[in-house]
Amino acid sequence: MRIDILTLFPNIVEGFLHESIIKRAIEKGLVEVNIVDFRKYSTLNNHQVDDTPYGGGGGMVLRCEPLVAAIEDLKDEDAKVFLMCPQGIPYKESHAIELSKLKHIILVCGHYEGFDERIRSFVDGEISIGDYVLTGGEIPAMAVCDSIIRLLPGVIKENSYENDSFMNNLLDYPTYTKPQEFRGLKVPDVLISGDHAKINAWREKERLLNTEKRRKDLLGGNHDGV
Ligand SMILES: C[S@@+](CC[C@H](N)C(=O)[O-])C[C@H]1O[C@@H](n2cnc3c(N)ncnc32)[C@H](O)[C@@H]1O
């Protein structure tokens, strides 16, 4: 899979590619991530990429031309282009699963006041990572990348994410490690019983209970496409 991240601030994203699971996935060739500074596609003086809003008001708006030039340069027949945008569909694990099956995605990070509205005619979708506003699309792009890359075959063991929260609209079951007792709090007996059928049944039951207790809304199983 190939992921291109269009940003004016490559340094924000750079470090994320050089640590832990994401770093190993790139080194193993399971994913290629390119950070592209779209300022270089500006043909204006000083590589200007933004301008004041028509109609007045505060903040600078990202112009269409450099972004569209970058998208058209990077896009191939497999590519899907997504704006990082608080007005987009709220991102969920089900979207990560869908996107992880694509061959090439281009994530476009906004900044300042956001994008010229007309950019919407040049993209396939818009992704929001939640109902709050960040200064730029870099953190959302990293969140989306991370959620996709960990699902790619060979990146982490399949059994370490198949019961993760949001898989099958359930939260994860409770997990414990050593010591068996910590400040009077004990590991449930079933987990040290060695009886794997019982352990699996307990985990299934706990996933349901956990979801009912914390996120009853998930049991409805809604899904919106990006
Ligand atoms: C300050 S925001 C612009 C917000 C825009 N004026 C609005 O109210 O919808 C600048 C950029 O940060 C990114 N961004 C901010 N919050 C986001 C979120 N919750 N999800 C995805 N991207 C976000 C987008 O790329 C956006 O263009």
| Model pLDDT for residues 158-180, shown as the tens digit of each residue | 888 888 999 999 999 999 999 99
Per-residue confidence (pLDDT) for residue 162, from 0 to 100 = 86
Query: Measuring from atom 13 of ligand 1, which residue has the nearest CA?
Result: 137
Examine the residue annotation and report whether 150 is marked as an active-site residue of this protein.
yes
Any ligand 1 atom below 6 A from CB of 53:
no
Catalytic residue among 93, 98, 113, 146: 113
Question: In angstroms, how far is CA 3 from the centroid of its own chain?
Answer: 11
Distance 84 CA to ligand 1 centre (A): 7
Examine the residue annotation and report whether 212 is marked as an active-site residue of this protein.
no
Per-residue confidence (pLDDT) for residue 208, from 0 to 100 = 97
What pTM was estimated for this model as a whole?
0.95
Domain layout of the chain by residue ranges: 2-149, 163-220
Nearest to 138 by CA among 19, 18, 20, 35: 35
Question: Domain 163-220 is of which CATH architecture?
Answer: Orthogonal Bundle (1.10)
Of 3.40.1280.10, 3.40.1000.10, 3.30.9.10, 1.10.287.130, the CATH number of 2-149 is: 3.40.1280.10
